[in-house]
Amino acid sequence: MFGMDVAVRLAERRTAGILRAIGKRAYFFRDIMRGLREPGTWIPETIRQMRTIGVESVPLACIVAAFLGGVTAFQTRYQLFPGVQLSVVGLIIRQSIVLELGPLLTALVLTGRVGARMTAEIGTMRVTEQIDALETLSFDPVAYLALPRLLAALLMLPVLTILANATAIFSAWAVLVTATDVRTDDFVAGLRLSFTEFQVVYSLIKAFFFGFAIAFVCAYEGYVTEAGAEGVGRSTAQAVVIASVSILVLDAVVAAVLAPFIQA
């Protein structure tokens, strides 16, 4: 009886902890939405964050996408057994990259590069009491720190995903025509096979959600950082892990909801 009581209390405590965590994040999201009322605070910073998150991440996103496309093309070609028309390679590469690998790997790479930096920046401002100073100066710290990053990530993740998809498909074509027996005609025929515009929209929807996950999780973890430099490191690591897992979960959710609509 006593053991049962302890188990129930433990479960209550755990459940309460989860609900508290959800509630805190909901409040944080509410504060971000409130920040929209002060465009003078977040618009200039948003442009700067778009450059940081978007423009400065282009080389990394393109390099990753180039290798991704090349390797996918090579492996796809040599996993086909004899008799399969070679245009299938183009189809598999397009579907793999546009629907899954392009947005997912771009988001995961940006989680490490952009999300960690975001958490570290905001966390450092928190532990050095710069955020308190902003509040003292009647600045809304959420509108100034979190909202621009969130908007920038929401806009730039789709942009980077477009570039990554294009780079990956181009590198796949280059690898196929130079290193395998697949011709440009086969590849292009496969690329066009069963293509619908919604497949691109699907990729951008995923990128949009991934951008939200990176910016929201990383900004929140930085915003609630405690206990000095060690706390900053812990928050950063935690932010990257939570953001990565969130991306994978969102990927599964989006696929489950929208996959029936992507078939031509």
Partner 1 sequence: MKRRDNLLVGSLVLVATLILLGGTIWLARGGLKSGYAMYSRFPWGAGLKQGQPVLLAGVNVGFVDRVELIPDGTLVVTYKVQSQYRIPVGTTATVQANGIFGDQQIALTPIRASTQSLPEGDTIPVGIAAPGIPQLLSKGDSVAANALALSAGLRTTFVDSGGINEIRATIKEMSRLLTQVSAVTAQQNRQLTLTQASLRRTLSSVDSSKVDSTVTNLRAASANLEQLSREFKATNTQVQTLLDKVSTGNGTAGRLLNDPAVYEQLQVTMRRVDSLLIDIKANPRKYINLRIF
> Out of 196, 226, 252, 253, which residue is the one contacting partner 1 (CB under 8 A)?
196
- Secondary structure of residue 238 in the 3-state scheme: helix
> Out of 193, 224, 248, 258, which residue is the one contacting partner 1 (CB under 8 A)?
193
- In this structure, what token pair is assigned to residue 8? 């129930």
The contacts of residue 20 (CB under 8 Å, 6+ apart) are none
Q: Using the rule CB under 8 A, is 59 a contact of partner 1?
A: no
DSSP secondary-structure letter at 38? -
Exposure of 257 by Cβ count < 10 A (0-12 exposed, 13-18 middle, 19+ buried)?
A: exposed
> Out of 35, 42, 54, 146, which residue is the one contacting partner 1 (CB under 8 A)?
54
Pairwise CA distance, residues 254 & 10, whole Å: 33
Nearer Cβ to partner 1 (150/156): 156
> Out of 7, 44, 133, 183, which residue is the one contacting partner 1 (CB under 8 A)?
44
Integer CA distances (angstroms), 205 to 87, 176, 244, in order? 27, 29, 17
Nearer Cβ to partner 1 (23/44): 44
> Out of 83, 138, 178, 260, which residue is the one contacting partner 1 (CB under 8 A)?
83
- Whose CA is closest to 88, among 200, 166, 182? 182
> Out of 22, 84, 245, 253, which residue is the one contacting partner 1 (CB under 8 A)?
84
Q: Using the rule CB under 8 A, is 224 a contact of partner 1?
A: no
Q: Using the rule CB under 8 A, is 4 a contact of partner 1?
A: no
Q: Using the rule CB under 8 A, is 189 a contact of partner 1?
A: yes
Q: Using the rule CB under 8 A, is 50 a contact of partner 1?
A: yes
Q: Using the rule CB under 8 A, is 39 a contact of partner 1?
A: no
Q: Using the rule CB under 8 A, is 75 a contact of partner 1?
A: no
Pairwise CA distance, residues 70 & 179, whole Å: 10
Pairwise CA distance, residues 26 & 235, whole Å: 19
Pairwise CA distance, residues 97 & 146, whole Å: 30
> Out of 55, 227, 229, 259, which residue is the one contacting partner 1 (CB under 8 A)?
55
Nearer Cβ to partner 1 (29/170): 170
Whether residue 147 contacts residue 247, with contact meaning beta carbons closer than 8 Å, is answered with: no
Nearer Cβ to partner 1 (3/59): 59
Q: Using the rule CB under 8 A, is 154 a contact of partner 1?
A: no
Among residue numbers 236 through 255, which ones bind partner 1 (CB under 8 A)?
none
Q: Using the rule CB under 8 A, is 40 a contact of partner 1?
A: no
Number of helical (H) and strand (E) elements in the chain, helices listed first: 12, 0
> Out of 162, 175, 176, 219, which residue is the one contacting partner 1 (CB under 8 A)?
162
Integer CA distances (angstroms), 204 to 103, 104, 171, 209, 262, in order? 8, 11, 20, 9, 13
- Binding residues for partner 1, per CB under 8 A? 44, 47-48, 50-51, 54-55, 58, 83-85, 88, 94, 155-156, 158-160, 162-163, 165-166, 185, 189, 191-197, 200, 204, 264
